[in-house]
Structure 1
Amino acid sequence: MQVLSKIFTKQSTYVPLVAIVLGLLVGAIVMWLGGYDPIVAYGAMLDKIFGSTYDFGEAIRQVTPLIFTGLAVAFAFRAGLFNIGVEGQFITGMTAATWIGINLNLPWFIHMPLAVIVGGIAGALWAGIAGWLKASRGVNEVISTIMLNWIAYYFANFMVRVVMVEPGQNRTKDIQGTASASIDWLVTLMDNARVHWGTVVAILCSFVFYYVLWKTRQGYELRASGFNPDAAHYAGMNVKGSIVKAMMFSGGLAGLGGAFESLGVFKSMAVMNALPGYGFDGIAVSLLGGNNPFGIIFGGILFGFLSYGSTGMSFEADVPNEIIRIVIGAVIFFVAIHGIVKWFLKPFFRKRREDKKEAA
């Protein structure tokens, strides 16, 4: 007990860690009740993630878009907005970056950065529509962003089928090599795993997120406008402008994620039979990270590794996908319900306080 109480000294540290353990324990119980060996299943998951350099590289690739979308959700939330449209902004970024990657002939040091920037701008503008509707017309951003998700989805499929189509196939033409975001030497080192510069940029975006929100005047206004719009307006802040800016910054992060997914992973864009889901998973990642930019990195790693490792649980341990999603959902549940974790840890902290009193 004393060891545990010394380790878990801060809420920001012990709550996520204990929540993860509790979630995995619940998942183990569910697997056991379903007739599956949880030790074998978790072993298969770890082997799938760390069993080879290729799998580890692919797991990192799986994590990257989740960091982008998690940051996008969290930034809007910090400004008092619930951006459900990260999915559509991600798709818009993919579409815009793919068009630039296919149609422009430029040197690599211009082509790839330009395609990424255009993808980010496209996502920002798409989110800006919802921000403008809320600021000018009072339209709830949840409703408008959900609608914009589907508009982005069908528009992207139109662009793939009609404008950028590879004749005879259900995908676009390949992007040019000068627009590729792959890290070639690392791809070779990791047995052709699809690692790309997006991972580096996603981590850098976490620092930008932190700096903008907590180290700039504009960030203070965004947070103040989200926390109490009436007080912010009374203090002379442009609340309506803050809404649009926050949504555009959020959408820009999602658009960057989509751009790198297209330029670094698929090198083209296929017809989508369903929404990719990265934007919705970003909500869970943001929750796991406590809407903190650095926590989101670890939340993305956890969610991405669980998602990628789940294929090992499915194929090697025969665990159904439904049970795998229960494991992931249980982890998210315990992270969200901080009170349960605190209640579980009360005996450890009570013992720690008693030991301090005795020592004094």
Structure 2
Amino acid sequence: MSKNMQNWAVPLLAVLLGMLLGAVIMLIFGYNPIWGYNDLLYTAFGSLKNWGEIFRAMGPLILIALGFSVASKAGFFNVGLPGQALIGWVMAVWFALSFPDLPKVISVTCTVIIGLLAGGIAGAVPGILRAYLGTSEVIVTIMMNYIILYSTDALVRGGISDSVMRTSDASNKVSASASYQTQWLSDLTNHSRMNIGIFFALAAVVLVWFMMKKTTMGYEITAVGLNPHASEYAGMSSKRVIVISMIISGALAGLGGTVEGLGTFENVYVQSSSLSIGWDGMAVALLAANSALGIPFAAFLYAVLAIGKTGMLGIPSEIIDVVSAFIIFFVGANYMIRRYLKPSKKSAIKGGK
């Protein structure tokens, strides 16, 4: 098996093994896995509306996963994605509530920029601390998740005008001109919440792929991720690359949160915990092995599981969450799979030349 085929086979086998272990758990607790997975697939693909919901769920996942992949390529584990997504969501919705009468093109453009800026600033903080003070980006980003969570909750409760609040903990919905949902997408998918966020996400896939593969910045990010000391010796500024990669990572996560806020919920409300889409986006990136082109496929799988599990009659939906965890476990422990998928001698010889 060639190296490229091995890279594709590992995630696929991880998915199959995760589903298999999920079936075993269903059997242990007295559920029929065949009917369970049948209900899941029928729910996910059985109606045009649910197809729209799958694409709706994919948008934020793709953007956040892309953010994680950029940081990973630079050699950093950005655990601050939930916070970066949340601050993008809150800032963008706050703007939309403050200026409800703007034309849709202007409103969408402004909220996209605000989401990118808010997430980028949140990503810059751990990037600067890592680059110039040598702090652990994992610890800083974990702590920033809590700082952003409680700060935005305080903002929702006391910083937003009472005139746009539905309750003390939730705002009204944004105006139609600020929402990412559109009538034509709603009509196309039988009144689902599919929105223009999926197009932003697919455009971001192309841009990130192009940046990482075809530009000097992408080469520098990869080089610093492989060996920052050698990169410095070659004339690259590893500090600059560290900061830029974290800004890009945070900006993409911020846009993912904006898409979730203005495309799915259309308002802002007090969050009881970190955004789950932040962690799910991280899992999507891991499943795709941080490949920009692989991320949409991994996001599609996660969206199918998320939408399909709601229709598993009599079976707790948490079992599918366990399946997702198993999938990521096998991706993380991919050496167990690769041991039985060794590259052929011919491809190994080519790789060594």
Both structures adopt the same fold (TM-score exceeding 0.5)? yes
Q: Does 1:180 align with 2:176?
A: no
Q: Residues 88 and 119 of structure 2 are in contact (CA less than 8 Å); yes or no, is this contact kept in structure 1? A: yes
CA distance, structure 1, for counterparts of residue 227 and residue 336 of structure 2 = 29
Q: Residues 85 and 149 of structure 1 are in contact (CA less than 8 Å); yes or no, is this contact kept in structure 2? A: yes
CA distance, structure 1, for counterparts of residue 154 and residue 282 of structure 2 = 27
Partner of 1:120: 116
Deviation at 1:325, TM superposition (A): 2.1
Partner of 2:349: none
CA distance, structure 2, for counterparts of residue 26 and residue 344 of structure 1 = 19
CA distance, structure 2, for counterparts of residue 67 and residue 189 of structure 1 = 22
Q: Does 1:267 align with 2:266?
A: yes
Partner of 1:237: 236
Q: Residues 161 and 172 of structure 1 are in contact (CA less than 8 Å); yes or no, is this contact kept in structure 2? A: no
CA distance, structure 2, for counterparts of residue 32 and residue 23 of structure 1 = 14
Q: 2:69 is matched by which residue type in structure 1? A: A
Q: Does 1:150 align with 2:146?
A: yes
SS class of match (1:294): coil
CA distance, structure 2, for counterparts of residue 331 and residue 300 of structure 1 = 13
Deviation at 1:342, TM superposition (A): 3.3
Q: 1:108 is matched by which residue type in structure 2? A: K
Partner of 1:210: 209
Partner of 1:75: 70
Q: Residues 102 and 175 of structure 1 are in contact (CA less than 8 Å); yes or no, is this contact kept in structure 2? A: yes
Partner of 2:95: 100
Matches within 5 A, 1:22-41: 22-41=17-36
Partner of 2:276: 277
Partner of 1:341: 337
Tell me which protein shows more helix as a share of its residues. 1
Q: 1:123 is matched by which residue type in structure 2? A: G
Deviation at 1:224, TM superposition (A): 1.1
Matches within 5 A, 1:159-170: 159-164=155-160, 165=162, 166=165, 168-170=167-169
Match of 2:84 among 66, 73, 89: 89
Larger radius of gyration: 1
Q: Residues 126 and 140 of structure 2 are in contact (CA less than 8 Å); yes or no, is this contact kept in structure 1? A: yes
Moved over 6 A (4+): none
Q: 2:285 is matched by which residue type in structure 1? A: S
Q: Which moved more, 1:180-189 or 1:75-84?
A: 180-189
CA distance, structure 1, for counterparts of residue 223 and residue 67 of structure 2 = 18
CA distance, structure 1, for counterparts of residue 269 and residue 186 of structure 2 = 22
Deviation at 1:220, TM superposition (A): 1.1
User: 1:196-218 CA distances to partner (integer Å, 9 max, x unpaired)?
Assistant: 11111111111111111121111
Q: Which moved more, 1:95-104 or 1:175-184?
A: 175-184
SS class of match (1:179): coil
Distance 1:108 1:325, change over 3 A: closer
Q: Residues 83 and 275 of structure 2 are in contact (CA less than 8 Å); yes or no, is this contact kept in structure 1? A: no
Deviation at 1:223, TM superposition (A): 1.3
SS class of match (2:181): coil
CA distance, structure 1, for counterparts of residue 188 and residue 209 of structure 2 = 32
Q: 1:311 is matched by which residue type in structure 2? A: T
Distance 1:188 1:32, change over 3 A: same
Deviation at 1:140, TM superposition (A): 0.8
CA distance, structure 2, for counterparts of residue 167 and residue 217 of structure 1 = 48
Distance 1:187 1:169, change over 3 A: farther
Q: Residues 130 and 141 of structure 1 are in contact (CA less than 8 Å); yes or no, is this contact kept in structure 2? A: yes
Matches within 5 A, 1:188-337: 188-313=187-312, 316=313, 318-337=314-333
Deviation at 1:135, TM superposition (A): 1.2
Q: Residues 130 and 145 of structure 1 are in contact (CA less than 8 Å); yes or no, is this contact kept in structure 2? A: yes
CA distance, structure 2, for counterparts of residue 191 and residue 111 of structure 1 = 25
Q: CA RMSD in A?
A: 2.1
Q: 2:308 is matched by which residue type in structure 1? A: G
Q: Residues 116 and 251 of structure 2 are in contact (CA less than 8 Å); yes or no, is this contact kept in structure 1? A: yes
Q: TM-score, normalised by structure 2?
A: 0.91
CA distance, structure 2, for counterparts of residue 299 and residue 102 of structure 1 = 33
Deviation at 1:252, TM superposition (A): 0.6
User: 1:112-144 CA distances to partner (integer Å, 9 max, x unpaired)?
Assistant: 111111111110011101111111211111111
CA distance, structure 2, for counterparts of residue 330 and residue 90 of structure 1 = 25
CA distance, structure 2, for counterparts of residue 135 and residue 256 of structure 1 = 24
Deviation at 1:9, TM superposition (A): 7.8
Distance 1:158 1:330, change over 3 A: same
SS class of match (1:293): coil
Q: 1:132 is matched by which residue type in structure 2? A: I
Distance 1:12 1:191, change over 3 A: same
Q: TM-score, normalised by structure 1?
A: 0.90
Q: How many equivalent residue pairs?
A: 342
Q: Does 1:43 align with 2:38?
A: yes
Q: Percent identity?
A: 37
CA distance, structure 2, for counterparts of residue 22 and residue 168 of structure 1 = 45
